[in-house]
Structure 1
């Protein structure tokens, strides 16, 4: 008899995961557009080359579980160590100048509740000082970050695109 129990765990993504990851990002883009945020990711973000680079450089973490003997991807995110060039200039102030990691490109599959929250909790547990940013229209991500204790630090401007560049910057540092 196969068990229906689900045990969530984290692992690095591999190129084998790419097709499912692309579907999850497409789902996230559709969900954002339906919820009043059609421009943050548009129809093409994140680009496949970026996702491949994240995987190749072991930046992509997956939240997975096993259901009826099959692994499912519940959520995915890029965890980027080191200084993020986009964060050098902020209209506001970061909590500190200590070393940090940045969560980028977080997306949930929609299969379970609280997947994004679980990803953020994992990053905080393993790294302690975490930054993130999101579009002013992305109320869902603002809620996730704020209910997980992140401070709204100000506004940053993305440097990798010509328009729609303003993002709300967040940080949480586990002292």
Structure 2
């Protein structure tokens, strides 16, 4: 499977929003509270793209996945209840979503692989992320991809499980 990974642009917005709406609905069907409070939304995606932190995963030139990727930019991570493995520079990603018709093809794992490569290209060996307690797909993805549980962080008053992965070159 050959994928591409690139910065999102405003032309990508409609398909990114479609993918995120599918993910929001999937979380709802799973009985999760994650993403059921109006976040993420079109404005968040637009801001990601303006700030040049939105990235898309392409399969045969079709946008099939999305994530926002930031460097050393998650203030809530300073308030972890627990402890990070490192306190050095880190890449953090949010809003991971794969198009409904491509679920189960290993594309989320592929997306994380590209995020690891992005970190290494920026000379960063720590990748941090978080998810809801009731998101078994993402929790499993963290486990399969070498992430270590570090504690809890809070977003919009909700606790989230926080993870870190140390990269090796």
The TM-score, its normalising length taken from structure 1, stands at: 0.87
Higher helix share: 2
1:94 aligned to 2:88? no
1:98-140 deviations in Å (ceiling 9; x for gaps): 1001010110003331111111111112213110000001111
Q: Residue 165 of structure 2: SS of its match in structure 1?
A: strand
Once superposed, which parts of structure 1, at least 4 consecutive aligned residues long, lie more than 4 Å away? none
Q: Residue 34 of structure 2: SS of its match in structure 1?
A: coil
Aligned position for 1:3: none
Aligned position for 1:11: 6
1:26-74 deviations in Å (ceiling 9; x for gaps): 100111111221x2101622122111110111111111022xxxx3111
The Cα RMSD (Å) is 1.4
2:51 pairs with one of 49, 54, 57: 57
Aligned runs of 1:128-139 on 2, under 5 Å?
A: 128-139=125-136
Aligned runs of 1:97-112 on 2, under 5 Å?
A: 97-112=87-102
Structure 2 unaligned blocks of 5 or more: 120-124
1:153 aligned to 2:141? no
In the alignment, is the contact (CA less than 8 A) between 2:17 and 2:41 conserved in 1? no
The TM-score, its normalising length taken from structure 2, stands at: 0.90
Structure 1 unaligned blocks of 5 or more: 1-5
Q: Rg: which structure is higher?
A: 1
The aligned length equals 161
Aligned partners of 2:109 and 2:25: how far apart in 1? 20
